[in-house]
């Protein structure tokens, strides 16, 4: 991709749909549709399935086919091949913890909106040069947290972030109050024990609380 072109990754609405993007690690593909429905019921119609488990791609496929009310994305894209696999499975957006040139090219090739990950000012500037204005700040708490984002907002106001990694109901409001934060990402809405127990009411309750942040 040449500089100053607009990649598909710049779709401006990815950060503005929900205050909290649920980051979900799914081990049982049978949980995919119920967890997506619970998130929708709780008012969070976005789900990011991390490609960390063998079930993830099929989970994306099932949710895309059976829960049209939710925007389903794939996270933990760490190789160019995974970007294509996620798109082929029906993912509607892509998230990566990092932003290597080959990953960026692969995500852009899918034509899907994407949130590449950054943790330094130079990475932020690199993405802006390539046409991305929205990005994931990861690992947020370990990389300077709200202080980093506040400091970046003055010299680099064009970049907007979805901080992820160490976000909780306690610190999320502080992030969401920053001018360069559109949403945060977090795994607390879908705790492993709730998924294991099939406790969809608990997931819906956690989603409801997160949606109100
Ligand atoms: O899988 C990815 O693509 C990642 O970059 C990591 C996740 O976003 C974080 O693991 C979520 O963080 P927690 O809410 O602290 O659990």
50: CA distance to ligand 1 center in Å? Answer: 8
Q: Is 4's pLDDT higher than 60?
A: no
CATH numbers and ranges of domains, the chain = 17-211 (3.20.20.70)
Which of 52, 93, 95, 97 has the most ligand 1 atoms within 8 A of CB, as the residue to mutate? 97
Per-residue pLDDT tens over the stretch 70-82: 999 999 999 999 9
Distance CA 105, CA 107 (A): 6
Is residue 84 flagged as an active site residue? no
Active-site annotation holds for 58? no
pLDDT interval class at 10 (50, 70, 90):
very low
Chain segment 125-151, per-residue pLDDT in tens: 999 999 999 999 999 999 999 999 999
pLDDT, mean over the chain? 94
Q: Which ligand 1 atom minimizes the distance to the CA of 25? A: 1
Report whether pLDDT(108) > 50: yes
- The confidence score (pLDDT) of residue 12 equals 46
Query: Quick one: pLDDT at residue 131?
Result: 95
Atom 12 of ligand 1: nearest residue by CA position: 165
Q: Pick the atom of ligand 1 nearest to 141's CA.
A: 15
User: What pLDDT, on the 0 to 100 scale, is given for residue 78?
Assistant: 97
Best residue for ligand 1 mutational test, from 172, 187, 192 (most atoms within 8 Å of Cβ): 187
Predicted pLDDT at 2: 37
Q: What is the ipTM of this complex?
A: 0.93
């Amino acid at each position: 991709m040449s500089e100053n072109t607009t990649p598909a990754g710049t779709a401006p609405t990815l950060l503005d749909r929900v205050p909290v993007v649920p980051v979900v690690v799914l081990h049982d593909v049978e949980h995919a549709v119920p967890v997506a429905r619970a998130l929708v019921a709780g008012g969070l119609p976005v789900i990011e399935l991390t490609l960390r488990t063998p079930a993830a791609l099929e989970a994306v496929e099932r949710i895309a086919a059976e829960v049209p009310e939710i925007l389903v994305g794939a996270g933990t894209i760490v190789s160019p091949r995974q970007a294509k696999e996620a798109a082929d499975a029906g993912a509607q957006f892509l998230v990566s913890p990092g932003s290597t040139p080959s990953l960026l090219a692969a995500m852009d090739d899918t034509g899907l909106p994407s949130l590449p990950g950054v943790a330094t000012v130079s990475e932020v500037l690199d993405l802006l040069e390539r046409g991305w204005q929205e990005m994931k700040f990861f690992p947020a708490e370990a990389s300077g947290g709200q202080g980093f984002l506040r400091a970046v907002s003055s010299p680099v106001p064009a970049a907007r972030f979805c901080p992820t990694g160490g976000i909780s109901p306690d610190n999320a409001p502080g992030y969401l109050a920053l001018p360069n934060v559109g949403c945060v990402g977090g795994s607390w809405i879908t705790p492993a024990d709730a998924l294991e127990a099939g406790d969809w009411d608990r997931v819906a309750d956690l989603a409801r609380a997160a949606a109100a942040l």
